[in-house]
Chain A
Amino acid sequence: MSATAVAAPAVHSLWTTAAAAPIHAPKIEYAQLSPILVVLGAAVAGILVEAFVPRRARYGTQLAVTLIGLAGAFAAVVGLAATGYATTKADLAAMGSIAVDGPSLFLQGTLILVTAVGVLAIAERGLEPQSREVPHVDAFAPQAAAVPGSEDEKAAARAGWSTTEVFPLTLFALSGMLVFPAAGDLLTLFIGLEILSLPLYLMCALARRRRLLSQESAVKYFLLGAFASAFFLFGTALLYGYAGTLDLGGIAKVVTGDAAPNAALNASAHGDALLLIGGAMIVMGLLFKVGAVPFHAWTPDVYQGAPTPITGFMAAATKVAAFGALLRLLYVALPEMRWDWRPVMWGVAILTMALGAIVAVTQTDVKRMLAYSSIAHAGFLLTGVIAGNKQGVSAVLFYLAAYSFVTLGAFAVVTLVRDAGGEATHLSRWDGLGRRSPLVAVTFALFLLAFAGIPLTSGFSGKFAVFSAAAKGGAVPLVVVGVLCSAVAAFFYVRVIVRMFFAEPRADGPSVAVPSALTGTAIAVGAAATLVLGVFPQWAFDLADKASVFIR
């Protein structure tokens, strides 16, 4: 009897207090969110272009809208950084949802530049064999349901159908990526994760050639990505049960005991099981996006199946965004837990470096080899994350900027080497490429040397930075493993170079397509960034160093 007497007013108060509590409209600092808003606005404009601009004019209009949007967003990032938001005026915008601070602005600027270069490769229409009937052919299926090479597809191409939706899709993915490293609470982080993932799943399925492989890769990416998202969301719920807040800074305060969790959660709050399991599940979701072992299984299949320009964009930009989010989560929300997460991350980093480098040796497909190489690089980046100091943050920021341009350039070169069946990605087809097309082979060799971390390339500067930060942070054994894995990785990079320059060219070997100015610019920017960040890295180190303080 007494139980019901107590329960009745409690239930009643649920309604009365909810109705009495005033709702405050949120305060949104639009200027501080302008990079994200500009990109989203350009994406929405791109949808309208798809709807109302005549078919023939769509491609040019889309390219212009996309590049103008990216330029505007980059100007917004530079403007925010110049007014001090990266250092002294760092702020939590939109009621703590978006952190506008050094790492955010550095990574957002990197992401926008990476996307601009990626869009150039995506917009390429001069590589496929052309005819008078079908003058412009890009890397994407004009009609997804039509069989490649069938009359249906030819008719679609003749009618001028093309998948210009990739431009707004790229911008939507970018907007999610801009939110991802800047998210100040777990729910915003999750929304960023979904906004960046969904367009990518779609873009993976768009390949004109080897369409079944492409669609298979999209399904695999989607299913595994959905699992990762579910893990992430479940972890978010558990951490909320622990701390009673979704704010990264708020969670940190509850961990250290500086703040009391929500009174309504007294029964569950301070349960270490919730904190450990929740934190682990969120980190698992992020490690999936990063492509770290044991959450790497999707990487080779998706990188191989997706249209190569999309692979380049995805490999570069997703890694930047996901490592930004991982850094913010570990350094802002869970720094006091580092004695719990560091041993686990040690294991993940060692496995990732070793498996990526060793399995890459056995690969016979260029795109799969680059995929395993990206897994190994995720491991190298994790050593910088584990460093646990300010130097580690700036080293990871620099590494991300350097690595993303190398990746974009390498995949852009892969689009050029073609035979009758499209891109010739089997490594044996690349024999003697250096004798036929020395310029392309030398450029690819430059990117491979940068992946291997040879001095005077950006790969060396980046690896040096993360390894020295990790050594300073007390992770010397990890650095030893990293250097050993770099040596293994150097073997298969150099093996490709040897094939290109010292093997006999095959009589039926692939030819190198002459790219238009678009892909040419993308490769040139990639090569220039590789050399500049390798020979004169100091200004970029200084920039990353200034930008390496998180706000909470």
Chain B
Amino acid sequence: MNSYVPILVLGVLAAGFAVVTVVSAALTGPKRYNRAKLDPYECGIEASPQPAGGGRFPIKYYLTAMLFIVFDIEIVFLYPWAVSFDALGVFGLVEMLLFIATVFVAYAYVWRRGGLEWD
């Protein structure tokens, strides 16, 4: 049980930090509301666009986010390989090249089908 004490302490610290910052910000911070601050989520597009007749709505934001995730995951795999690529030798190099090639196939698909054009 002793080995769980650090995790418990960490949990208490994290919870304490969250509570203290939220409470202190609420007590000390100035409150000036405007329209932008009352919007649901400030992230480039309206949260739930309701076009007339249920028609088309922009999805470019999601496309960009998905593309980001693809390359994010690629990096997650490249880092451990880069750390020990000499130990893995030619095998590791070839496998990583294959992996990057398949990611680039997806990239080529996105590029050719217009996923990189903003408008």
Contacts and interface: CB of A to CB of B under 8 A. Distances in A.
Contacts, number: 42
Interface residues of A, number: 15
Contacts of B112: 50-52
Interface stretch (A143-151, A277-285, A512-520, A540-548): A143-151
A22 B55 contact: no
Interface string B82-115: 0010011101100000000010011011011100
* Interface core residue of B56, B59, B111 (most chain A CB under 10 Å): B56
B109 A150 contact: no
Nearest to B109: A51
Interface in A128-151: 145-147, 150
Contact of B105 (A23, A44, A145, A146): A44
A448 B20 CA distance: 67
A47 B106 contact: yes
A25 B113 CA distance: 37
Contacts of B108: 47-48, 51-52
Interface string B49-89: 00001111101000000000000000000000000100111
A272 interface: no
| Chain B interface residue number, banded | 20 to 34
A152 interface: yes
A190 B111 CA distance: 31
B60 to A, nearest CB: 12
A50 B110 CA distance: 10
A25 B55 contact: no
B105 A152 contact: no
Contacts of A152: 55-56
B56 A25 contact: no
Contacts of A147: 53-55
* Interface core residue of B59, B89, B105 (most chain A CB under 10 Å): B105
B56 A47 contact: no
A145 B88 contact: no
Nearest to A44: B105
Nearest to B53: A147
Interface of B: 53-57, 59, 84, 87-89, 91-92, 102, 105-106, 108-109, 111-113
A-B complex: 8 closest residue pairs judged by Cβ atoms: A25-B91, A51-B112, A23-B87, A145-B56, A51-B109, A51-B108, A47-B109, A47-B105
Interface of A: 22-23, 25-26, 44, 47-48, 50-52, 145-147, 150, 152
